Protein backbone atom coordinates (compact mmCIF):
# COMPACT_ATOMS: atom_id res chain seq x y z
CA UNK A 1 0.00 0.00 0.00
CA UNK A 2 1.34 3.46 -0.93
CA UNK A 3 1.92 6.26 1.54
CA UNK A 4 -0.98 8.10 -0.08
CA UNK A 5 -3.26 5.10 0.55
CA UNK A 6 -2.02 4.87 4.14
CA UNK A 7 -2.91 8.50 4.73
CA UNK A 8 -6.36 7.98 3.21
CA UNK A 9 -7.03 4.99 5.50
CA UNK A 10 -5.78 6.94 8.53
CA UNK A 11 -7.95 9.93 7.63
CA UNK A 12 -10.94 7.65 7.09
CA UNK A 13 -10.42 6.13 10.56
CA UNK A 14 -10.20 9.56 12.16
CA UNK A 15 -13.43 10.62 10.44
CA UNK A 16 -15.21 7.47 11.62
CA UNK A 17 -14.00 8.00 15.19
CA UNK A 18 -15.20 11.60 15.14
CA UNK A 19 -18.61 10.49 13.89
CA UNK A 20 -18.87 7.92 16.69
CA UNK A 21 -17.96 10.52 19.32
CA UNK A 22 -20.47 12.99 17.88
CA UNK A 23 -23.17 10.30 17.78
CA UNK A 24 -22.53 9.50 21.45
CA UNK A 25 -22.75 13.20 22.29
CA UNK A 26 -26.15 13.38 20.61
CA UNK A 27 -27.31 10.17 22.31
CA UNK A 28 -26.40 11.57 25.72
CA UNK A 29 -28.19 14.86 25.01
CA UNK A 30 -31.39 13.22 23.78
CA UNK A 31 -31.61 9.98 25.74
CA UNK A 32 -29.82 10.72 29.00
CA UNK A 33 -29.96 14.40 29.88
CA UNK A 34 -33.39 15.34 28.54
CA UNK A 35 -36.75 14.49 30.11
CA UNK A 36 -38.70 15.22 26.92
CA UNK A 37 -38.23 14.77 23.16
CA UNK A 38 -35.95 17.33 21.51
CA UNK A 39 -36.24 19.20 18.23
CA UNK A 40 -33.28 19.49 15.88
CA UNK A 41 -32.66 23.06 17.03
CA UNK A 42 -32.58 21.88 20.66
CA UNK A 43 -30.02 19.17 19.88
CA UNK A 44 -27.84 21.70 18.09
CA UNK A 45 -28.02 24.05 21.08
CA UNK A 46 -27.24 21.32 23.63
CA UNK A 47 -24.39 19.66 21.75
CA UNK A 48 -22.80 22.62 19.99
CA UNK A 49 -22.52 20.52 16.82
CA UNK A 50 -23.28 21.89 13.35
CA UNK A 51 -26.91 21.70 12.28
CA UNK A 52 -26.15 19.56 9.23
CA UNK A 53 -24.14 17.11 11.35
CA UNK A 54 -26.92 16.81 13.93
CA UNK A 55 -29.55 16.28 11.23
CA UNK A 56 -27.49 13.54 9.56
CA UNK A 57 -26.58 11.69 12.76
CA UNK A 58 -30.08 11.98 14.23
CA UNK A 59 -31.42 10.29 11.11
CA UNK A 60 -28.85 7.49 11.38
CA UNK A 61 -29.56 6.96 15.10
CA UNK A 62 -33.31 6.90 14.46
CA UNK A 63 -32.94 4.39 11.61
CA UNK A 64 -30.90 2.14 13.92
CA UNK A 65 -33.54 2.20 16.66
CA UNK A 66 -31.33 3.94 19.20
CA UNK A 67 -33.53 7.03 18.87
CA UNK A 68 -37.08 7.55 17.66
CA UNK A 69 -38.76 10.53 16.03
CA UNK A 70 -42.38 11.63 16.37
CA UNK A 71 -44.73 13.33 13.90
CA UNK A 72 -43.55 16.73 15.15
CA UNK A 73 -39.95 16.00 14.22
CA UNK A 74 -38.79 15.61 17.81
CA UNK A 75 -36.32 12.94 18.90
CA UNK A 76 -36.35 10.73 22.01
CA UNK A 77 -34.87 7.41 23.22
CA UNK A 78 -35.57 4.45 20.95
CA UNK A 79 -36.68 0.91 21.67
CA UNK A 80 -33.18 -0.47 21.11
CA UNK A 81 -31.88 1.58 24.05
CA UNK A 82 -34.57 0.05 26.26
CA UNK A 83 -33.58 -3.46 25.13
CA UNK A 84 -29.93 -2.67 25.87
CA UNK A 85 -30.82 -1.31 29.28
CA UNK A 86 -32.87 -4.37 30.18
CA UNK A 87 -30.05 -6.64 29.04
CA UNK A 88 -27.64 -4.66 31.21
CA UNK A 89 -29.93 -5.15 34.21
CA UNK A 90 -30.39 -8.85 33.47
CA UNK A 91 -26.63 -9.34 33.47
CA UNK A 92 -26.19 -7.56 36.79
CA UNK A 93 -26.23 -10.61 39.09
CA UNK A 94 -26.11 -8.49 42.23
CA UNK A 95 -29.78 -7.69 41.69
CA UNK A 96 -30.91 -11.27 42.33
CA UNK A 97 -28.64 -11.54 45.38
CA UNK A 98 -29.83 -8.25 46.88
CA UNK A 99 -33.55 -8.39 46.10
CA UNK A 100 -34.63 -10.58 49.08
CA UNK A 101 -32.80 -8.38 51.59
CA UNK A 102 -34.20 -5.26 49.93
CA UNK A 103 -37.73 -6.61 50.32
CA UNK A 104 -37.03 -7.33 53.98
CA UNK A 105 -35.70 -3.80 54.50
CA UNK A 106 -38.78 -2.23 52.94
CA UNK A 107 -41.08 -4.47 54.98
CA UNK A 108 -39.22 -3.54 58.17
CA UNK A 109 -38.88 0.21 57.54
CA UNK A 110 -41.88 0.82 55.24
CA UNK A 111 -39.60 2.97 53.08
CA UNK A 112 -38.32 2.60 49.50
CA UNK A 113 -35.16 0.54 49.06
CA UNK A 114 -32.70 1.10 46.21
CA UNK A 115 -29.75 -0.80 44.82
CA UNK A 116 -27.13 1.15 42.88
CA UNK A 117 -23.81 0.68 41.09
CA UNK A 118 -21.11 3.11 39.91
CA UNK A 119 -21.12 4.42 36.37
CA UNK A 120 -18.66 7.30 36.66
CA UNK A 121 -19.53 9.99 37.66
CA UNK A 122 -23.00 8.68 38.44
CA UNK A 123 -24.69 6.08 40.58
CA UNK A 124 -27.16 4.03 38.51
CA UNK A 125 -30.30 2.65 40.17
CA UNK A 126 -30.48 -1.00 39.08
CA UNK A 127 -33.17 -2.31 41.45
CA UNK A 128 -35.92 -0.88 43.62
CA UNK A 129 -38.52 -2.03 46.14
CA UNK A 130 -41.33 0.50 46.56
CA UNK A 131 -42.58 1.72 49.92
CA UNK A 132 -46.15 0.53 50.57
CA UNK A 133 -47.06 3.97 51.94
CA UNK A 134 -49.00 6.48 49.85
CA UNK A 135 -46.48 9.28 50.36
CA UNK A 136 -43.05 8.14 49.16
CA UNK A 137 -40.14 9.23 47.03
CA UNK A 138 -40.44 8.94 43.27
CA UNK A 139 -37.60 7.15 41.48
CA UNK A 140 -37.09 4.60 38.74
CA UNK A 141 -34.73 1.80 37.82
CA UNK A 142 -32.23 3.06 35.27
CA UNK A 143 -32.14 6.58 36.71
CA UNK A 144 -28.76 8.17 37.39
CA UNK A 145 -27.72 10.65 40.07
CA UNK A 146 -24.34 12.15 41.02
CA UNK A 147 -22.12 10.09 43.30
CA UNK A 148 -21.32 13.01 45.59
CA UNK A 149 -24.81 13.82 46.86
CA UNK A 150 -26.72 10.52 47.22
CA UNK A 151 -26.70 7.94 49.99
CA UNK A 152 -25.90 5.20 47.48
CA UNK A 153 -23.22 7.23 45.74
CA UNK A 154 -21.43 8.40 48.88
CA UNK A 155 -21.50 4.90 50.37
CA UNK A 156 -19.82 3.57 47.22
CA UNK A 157 -17.39 6.47 46.95
CA UNK A 158 -16.24 6.25 50.58
CA UNK A 159 -14.80 2.77 50.03
CA UNK A 160 -13.58 3.28 46.46
CA UNK A 161 -10.03 3.79 45.29
CA UNK A 162 -8.19 7.04 45.89
CA UNK A 163 -8.08 7.45 42.11
CA UNK A 164 -11.88 7.39 41.82
CA UNK A 165 -12.33 9.75 44.76
CA UNK A 166 -9.80 12.18 43.29
CA UNK A 167 -11.47 11.95 39.89
CA UNK A 168 -14.83 12.90 41.41
CA UNK A 169 -13.28 15.68 43.49
CA UNK A 170 -11.65 17.14 40.38
CA UNK A 171 -15.06 17.66 38.78
CA UNK A 172 -17.47 20.52 39.49
CA UNK A 173 -19.71 19.13 42.25
CA UNK A 174 -23.23 20.05 41.16
CA UNK A 175 -25.43 21.71 43.78
CA UNK A 176 -28.75 19.86 43.85
CA UNK A 177 -30.13 21.47 47.03
CA UNK A 178 -28.92 24.03 49.56
CA UNK A 179 -27.41 21.17 51.57
CA UNK A 180 -25.37 19.58 48.75
CA UNK A 181 -21.66 19.30 49.46
CA UNK A 182 -19.96 21.17 46.63
CA UNK A 183 -16.31 21.40 47.73
CA UNK A 184 -13.68 18.69 47.35
CA UNK A 185 -12.47 19.25 50.93
CA UNK A 186 -16.00 18.95 52.28
CA UNK A 187 -16.65 15.75 50.33
CA UNK A 188 -13.39 14.13 51.46
CA UNK A 189 -14.23 14.96 55.08
CA UNK A 190 -17.72 13.49 54.63
CA UNK A 191 -16.30 10.26 53.16
CA UNK A 192 -14.11 9.89 56.26
CA UNK A 193 -17.17 10.13 58.50
CA UNK A 194 -18.92 7.51 56.37
CA UNK A 195 -16.03 5.07 56.80
CA UNK A 196 -16.06 5.71 60.56
CA UNK A 197 -19.73 4.84 61.02
CA UNK A 198 -20.16 2.41 58.10
CA UNK A 199 -23.04 4.11 56.33
CA UNK A 200 -23.76 7.27 54.33
CA UNK A 201 -26.50 9.82 54.89
CA UNK A 202 -28.06 11.86 52.12
CA UNK A 203 -29.35 14.67 54.32
CA UNK A 204 -31.68 16.21 51.73
CA UNK A 205 -28.64 16.77 49.50
CA UNK A 206 -29.91 15.35 46.21
CA UNK A 207 -33.65 16.01 46.25
CA UNK A 208 -35.70 18.45 48.30
CA UNK A 209 -37.66 16.75 51.07
CA UNK A 210 -35.95 13.35 50.70
CA UNK A 211 -33.47 11.82 53.13
CA UNK A 212 -31.78 8.43 52.77
CA UNK A 213 -29.26 6.09 54.35
CA UNK A 214 -26.93 3.93 52.25
CA UNK A 215 -24.32 1.24 52.85
CA UNK A 216 -21.84 -0.47 50.51
CA UNK A 217 -21.92 -4.05 49.24
CA UNK A 218 -18.45 -5.56 48.87
CA UNK A 219 -17.23 -8.16 46.40
CA UNK A 220 -14.89 -11.06 47.07
CA UNK A 221 -11.84 -8.80 46.81
CA UNK A 222 -13.16 -6.27 49.32
CA UNK A 223 -13.96 -3.55 46.81
CA UNK A 224 -17.44 -1.96 46.71
CA UNK A 225 -19.53 -3.43 43.90
CA UNK A 226 -22.92 -1.89 44.76
CA UNK A 227 -24.80 -0.16 47.55
CA UNK A 228 -28.20 -0.41 49.22
CA UNK A 229 -30.19 2.51 50.58
CA UNK A 230 -33.43 3.26 52.37
CA UNK A 231 -35.04 6.52 51.28
CA UNK A 232 -38.17 8.42 52.13
CA UNK A 233 -39.72 11.79 52.98
CA UNK A 234 -37.57 13.76 55.42
CA UNK A 235 -40.55 14.02 57.77
CA UNK A 236 -40.45 10.24 58.29
CA UNK A 237 -36.76 9.54 57.71
CA UNK A 238 -35.62 12.04 60.33
CA UNK A 239 -32.05 12.66 61.47
CA UNK A 240 -32.99 10.93 64.72
CA UNK A 241 -34.31 7.82 62.93
CA UNK A 242 -31.19 7.68 60.76
CA UNK A 243 -29.22 6.49 63.79
CA UNK A 244 -31.51 3.46 63.97
CA UNK A 245 -31.72 2.88 60.22
CA UNK A 246 -27.97 3.03 59.58
CA UNK A 247 -26.98 -0.23 61.33
CA UNK A 248 -29.97 -2.02 59.78
CA UNK A 249 -28.94 -1.01 56.26
CA UNK A 250 -25.30 -1.93 57.01
CA UNK A 251 -26.36 -5.39 58.19
CA UNK A 252 -28.42 -5.98 55.04
CA UNK A 253 -25.58 -4.78 52.81
CA UNK A 254 -23.12 -7.04 54.63
CA UNK A 255 -25.44 -10.04 54.17
CA UNK A 256 -25.42 -9.43 50.41
CA UNK A 257 -21.66 -8.89 50.52
CA UNK A 258 -21.17 -12.37 52.01
CA UNK A 259 -23.37 -13.83 49.26
CA UNK A 260 -21.03 -12.11 46.79
CA UNK A 261 -18.03 -13.89 48.29
CA UNK A 262 -16.83 -11.21 50.70
CA UNK A 263 -15.20 -12.33 53.93
CA UNK A 264 -14.53 -9.65 56.55
Task: Say yes or no to pLDDT of 7 above 60.
Answer: no
What are the pLDDT digits (tens) for 99-112? 999 999 999 999 99
In this prediction, residue 92 has a pLDDT band, given cuts at 50, 70 and 90, of low
Task: Say yes or no to pLDDT of 80 above 80.
Answer: yes
Q: Rounded to whole angstroms, how far apart are CA atoms 77 and 196?
A: 42
CATH of domain 93-259: 3.30.450.40
Phi, psi of 238 (to 5 degrees): -85, 165
Q: What is the pLDDT of residue 101?
A: 96
What are the pLDDT digits (tens) for 246-261? 999 999 999 999 988 8
Q: Using a cut of 0.75, tell me whether the model's pTM lies above it.
A: no
More confident residue, 33 or 153: 153
Q: What is the pLDDT of residue 88?
A: 63
Q: Rounded to whole angstroms, how far apart are CA atoms 53 and 21?
A: 12
> Please, are residues 217 and 228 in contact by the beta-carbon 8 Å criterion?
yes
Task: Pick the closest to residue 66 from 25, 27, 21 (CA basis).
Answer: 27
Topology of 3-83 in CATH?
A: Arc Repressor Mutant, subunit A (1.10.10)
Q: Among 104-108, 213-217, 260-264, which is the least confidently predicted range? A: 260-264
In this prediction, residue 4 has a pLDDT band, given cuts at 50, 70 and 90, of very low
Q: How far apart are the first and last CA of the chain?
A: 59
In this prediction, residue 79 has a pLDDT band, given cuts at 50, 70 and 90, of confident
In this prediction, residue 136 has a pLDDT band, given cuts at 50, 70 and 90, of low
Q: What is the pLDDT of residue 2?
A: 47
Q: What is the pLDDT of residue 1?
A: 47
Instruction: Look at phi and psi of residue 158 and say left if phi exceeds 0, alpha if psi is from -120 to 50, else beta.
Output: alpha
Q: Rounded to whole angstroms, how far apart are CA atoms 146 and 264?
A: 29
Q: Where are the domains of the chain?
A: 3-83, 93-259
Q: Rounded to whole angstroms, how far apart are CA atoms 126 and 261?
A: 20
Taking 3-state DSSP, the helix, strand and coil percentages for the chain, each rounded to the nearest 5, stand at 50, 20, 30
What are the pLDDT digits (tens) for 187-203? 999 999 999 999 999 99
Amino acid sequence: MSRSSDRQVEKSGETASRSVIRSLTILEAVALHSHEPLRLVDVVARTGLPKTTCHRLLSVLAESGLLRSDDQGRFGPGALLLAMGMNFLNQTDIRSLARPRMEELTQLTQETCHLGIVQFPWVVYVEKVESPLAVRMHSQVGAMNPLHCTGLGKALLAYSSVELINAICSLPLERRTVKTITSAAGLIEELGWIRDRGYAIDDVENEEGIRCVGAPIFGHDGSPIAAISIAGPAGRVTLKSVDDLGPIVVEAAMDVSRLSGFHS
